[in-house]
Structure 1
């Protein structure tokens, strides 16, 4: 289980524990974290679970796949640390992960 901090665009923080094997997106949805819409339910078919991964965890979360990079083309304000949270699997290595949410997902 990993403790993940989701920081909304306005600075509000939500610290939740997420079971290993779930995605960062699923952790947000199951804990009612606002700002992650997940319109496609985690199928990497939209960009409504866009997050910015904290620098300290970029190596642990890995690189975006080609499919994920294609979907990020639909996200607003994409940065080098942008990821789709549905594509980041939670493990003990992600304990302490911080992700920041964009101003909007559409």
Structure 2
């Protein structure tokens, strides 16, 4: 089993360093839920609600947003250039050292 270390900054500005398994087909939203971080994931990871929106703070290349993610972020609030949906970020070894900040809920 191979884990990567990811830093997730919650909505109060507190950084949580978590271990995320690369061999369980998880995504970033599921990792947040597993560590009981405040991500609602209303749609269950289908890129239909933006409640797992986060900002990529580190210099990781996550590839382009897919069409569903782009469409959802087009309608979401608090979107920035570095916004991504956590449910659309699969946990891979390339994410070692990733830093993300959870977007505001309101």
| Count of equivalent residues | 102
TM-score, with normalisation over the residues of structure 2? 0.89
Larger helix fraction of residues = 1
Instruction: Note the C-alpha offset of 1:90.
Output: 0.7
Say whether residues 1:27 and 2:28 are aligned partners. Answer: no
Mapping 1:1-106, distance limit 5 Å: 1-20=3-22, 21-34=25-38, 36-57=39-60, 59=61, 61-104=62-105, 106=106
TM-score, with normalisation over the residues of structure 1? 0.89
Instruction: Note the C-alpha offset of 1:46.
Output: 1.3
CA distance in 2, matches of 1:26, 1:40: 12
CA distance in 1, matches of 2:94, 2:58: 14
CA distance in 2, matches of 1:81, 1:7: 14
CA distance in 1, matches of 2:90, 2:10: 20
**Considering only aligned residues, what root-mean-square deviation do their CA atoms show, in Å?**
1.2
Aligned residues of 2:58 and 2:100 also touching (Cα < 8 A): no
Long gaps (5+) in structure 2 = none
Aligned residues of 1:8 and 1:100 also touching (Cα < 8 A): yes
Instruction: Note the C-alpha offset of 1:74.
Output: 3.0
Q: Which moved more, 1:90-99 or 1:72-81?
A: 72-81
Long gaps (5+) in structure 1 = none
| Superimposed CA distance per residue, residues 11-50 of structure 1 (whole angstroms, 9 cap, x where no aligned partner) | 111111111131001100011012x111011111211110
CA distance in 1, matches of 2:104, 2:50: 13
